[in-house]
C-alpha cells in the first residue's frame, strides 16, 4: 500500500532530525504485509517495551488466524469443519466471525468470509486460479448462511462440508485496533499503526494532523489523494495489491464477488467507462474492525450501492475511485 511508503519516507526524515528524539518507529513483516508503528513516548526503555508488545500482538493474531499456518485456529476450523460437527472455538474467533456475519447481512452477502471456499484455490504469486468447472461446482458452498455460530456456547458448525473461511478482509483491521488498545494501556496519546491497507491513528501528530496517502491505483509512485486525519481508522481495498493478469488479459485480484465465486471484475475486464465499477475504496471510521470489512464490502458492491451503504452508517466516510480513475467522496467529505 502507499501508506507504507509514505511512513517510511517520513520515518527517514524524522530520524535525521534532532527534534524527533521521542518518536519511535518500527516496521515488521507480519500477516503477509508490512506492519508499521510510529508513536510518541518520552521514555526510551518503556517505548521499547511498548514496541515489542504491539508487534507481539500482531504475531499472536497471525498465529491464530493465518490460513497459511497449518497450526492456526483458522486452519484447524477449516479442516475439522468438514465433518459437520459443532467445533469449539476461542472467544476471539467467535467475535470476529460474528462481526463478519453482521457485515454479510448488512451487505446482502457482498462481504462473505466463505469466499475462501474458492478463494483458497487462488495463488496470486503463482498466477493460479480456480477453473470454470470447479467454480461452478463449489459456488453453492460459498455462502455465509452455511456458518452456524453459537456465540454463547462458542461453537461453529459448517453445514456444507466443502465450505472454508478466511478472515483476510477483517483481521488486519481488528489487529490495528488491538495495537491501539495496547498503546492506550501504556498511556500513549499519539500513534500511527498500520498493517498493509489498514491504519489506525491515535490522536494527532503532536499539533498537526497525520497525513495519510491513498495510492494511485494504476501508478505506483503516485498519490491519488493525501488526507489529513486524526483519531480515526482508515482502510483501503484495491485491485492492485495482490493480482496477476491472466492469459486472457484479465486482472485476477484478491477481492471476490461471493455471488460469482470469482474476483470482482475490474477495468481490464471490459468497460473502462463503467461508472459503477470501483478499483480503489477507502473507508474512514472510528475502528479498523469496521473500516476493514467495509472497504472490502464497498469494493464488491460497486459505487452506487457501496456509497449508499456508507451514507446509511453514521460516523463513516468513503473515498472511492472508479474504473475511469475518477474519485468520489461520501457526503461528509464533500466540502
Nearer to ligand ADP, 111 or 210 (CB): 111
Name which of Mg ion, ligand ADP, none residue 196 binds, using a CB cut-off of 5 to 8 Å depending on partner kind.
ligand ADP
Nearer to ligand ADP, 57 or 290 (CB): 290
* Interacting span for ligand ADP (CB under 6 A) from 51-59, 175-183, 250-258, 313-321: 250-258
Measured between alpha carbons, how far apart are the two ends of the chain, in Å?
26
Q: What are the cell numbers at 302? A: 460497486
Residues belonging to the chain: 335
Binding of Mg ion at residue 296 (CB under 5 A)?
yes
Show the site string, 194-233: x = touches ligand ADP by CB under 6 A, - = not. --xxx-----------------------------------
Nearer to ligand ADP, 32 or 203 (CB): 32
Asked whether the beta carbons of 218 and 325 are under 8 A apart, the reply is yes
Give SS3 for 138.
Answer: helix
Site for ligand ADP in 12-51 (CB under 6 A): none
Helix, strand, coil shares, percent, the chain, to 5: 40, 25, 35
Nearer to ligand ADP, 202 or 278 (CB): 278
CB of 127 to ligand ADP, least distance (A): 16
Show the site string, 148-177: x = touches ligand ADP by CB under 6 A, - = not. ------------------x-xx--x-----
In 3D space, the residue among 295, 297, 124, 278 whose CA is nearest the CA of residue 196 turns out to be 295
In 3D space, the residue among 27, 329, 45 whose CA is nearest the CA of residue 192 turns out to be 27
- Contact pick of 7, 174, 240, 256 for ligand ADP (by CB under 6 A): 256
Q: What is the DSSP string of 211-255?
A: EEEEE-TT-TT-EEEEEEE-SEEEEEEESSSSEEE-TTS-EEES-
Asked whether the beta carbons of 296 and 311 are under 8 A apart, the reply is no
- Contact pick of 34, 62, 241, 267 for ligand ADP (by CB under 6 A): 241
Nearer to Mg ion, 190 or 232 (CB): 232
Helix (H) or strand (E) segment spanning residue 72: none
Distance between CA atoms of residues 279 and 91, nearest Å: 35
Q: Which residue intervals of 25-122 are DSSP H helices?
A: 44-65, 73-80, 91-106, 116-119
CB of 202 to ligand ADP, least distance (A): 20
Name which of Mg ion, ligand ADP, none residue 166 binds, using a CB cut-off of 5 to 8 Å depending on partner kind.
ligand ADP
Name which of Mg ion, ligand ADP, none residue 112 binds, using a CB cut-off of 5 to 8 Å depending on partner kind.
ligand ADP
In 3D space, the residue among 289, 320, 288 whose CA is nearest the CA of residue 303 turns out to be 320
Q: How far is CA 72 from the centre of its chain?
A: 19
Name which of ligand ADP, Mg ion, none residue 72 binds, using a CB cut-off of 5 to 8 Å depending on partner kind.
none
In 3D space, the residue among 105, 72, 95 whose CA is nearest the CA of residue 149 turns out to be 95
Binding of ligand ADP at residue 237 (CB under 6 A)?
yes
Residues β-bridged to residue 212: 227
CB of 245 to Mg ion, least distance (A): 22
- Contact pick of 67, 81, 109, 169 for Mg ion (by CB under 5 A): 169
Nearer to Mg ion, 190 or 296 (CB): 296
Binding of Mg ion at residue 295 (CB under 5 A)?
yes
User: What is the binding site for ligand ADP (CB under 6 A)?
Assistant: 111-113, 115, 166, 168-169, 172, 196-198, 235, 237, 241, 254-256, 258, 292, 295-296, 300
User: What is the binding site for Mg ion (CB under 5 A)?
Assistant: 169, 237, 292, 295-296
Amino acid at each position: 500500500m502507499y501508506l507504507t511508503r509514505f511512513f517510511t519516507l517520513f520515518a527517514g526524515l524524522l530520524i535525521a532530525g534532532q527534534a524527533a528524539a521521542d518518536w519511535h518507529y518500527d516496521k515488521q513483516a507480519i500477516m503477509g504485509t508490512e506492519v508499521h508503528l510510529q508513536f510518541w513516548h518520552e521514555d526510551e526503555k518503556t517505548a521499547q517495551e511498548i514496541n515489542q508488545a504491539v508487534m507481539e500482538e500482531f504475531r499472536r493474531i497471525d498465529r491464530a488466524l493465518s490460513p497459511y499456518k497449518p497450526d492456526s485456529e483458522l486452519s484447524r476450523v477449516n479442516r475439522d469443519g468438514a465433518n459437520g460437527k459443532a467445533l469449539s472455538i476461542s472467544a476471539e474467533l467467535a467475535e470476529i466471525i460474528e462481526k463478519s456475519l453482521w457485515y454479510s447481512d448488512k451487505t446482502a452477502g457482498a462481504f462473505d468470509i466463505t469466499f475462501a471456499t474458492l478463494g483458497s484455490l487462488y495463488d496470486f504469486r503463482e498466477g493460479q486460479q480456480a477453473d470454470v468447472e470447479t467454480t461452478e461446482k463449489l459456488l453453492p458452498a460459498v455462502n455465509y448462511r452455511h456458518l452456524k455460530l453459537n456465540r454463547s456456547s462458542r461453537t461453529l458448525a459448517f453445514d456444507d462440508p466443502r465450505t472454508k473461511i478466511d478472515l483476510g478482509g477483517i483481521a488486519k483491521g481488528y489487529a490495528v485496533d488491538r495495537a491501539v488498545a495496547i498503546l492506550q494501556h501504556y498511556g500513549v496519546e499519539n500513534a500511527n499503526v498500520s498493517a498493509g491497507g489498514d491504519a489506525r491513528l491515535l490522536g494527532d501528530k503532536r499539533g498537526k494532523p497525520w497525513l495519510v496517502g491513498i495510492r494511485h491505483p494504476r501508478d505506483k509512485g503516485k498519490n491519488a489523494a493525501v488526507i489529513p486525519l486524526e483519531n480515526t481508522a482508515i482502510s483501503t481495498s484495491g485491485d492492485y495489491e495482490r493480482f496477476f493478469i491472466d492469459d486472457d488479459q484479465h486482472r485476477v485480484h484478491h477481492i471476490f464477488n461471493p455471488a460469482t465465486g470469482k474476483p470482482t471484475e475490474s477495468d481490464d475486464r471490459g468497460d473502462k467507462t463503467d461508472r459503477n465499477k470501483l478499483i480503489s475504496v477507502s473507508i474512514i471510521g472510528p475502528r479498523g474492525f469496521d473500516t476493514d470489512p467495509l472497504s472490502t464490502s464497498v469494493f464488491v458492491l460497486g459505487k452506487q450501492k457501496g456509497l449508499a451503504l456508507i451514507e446509511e452508517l453514521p460516523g463513516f466516510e468513503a473515498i472511492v475511485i472508479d474504473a475511469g480513475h475518477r474519485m468520489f467522496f461520501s457526503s461528509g467529505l464533500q466540502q
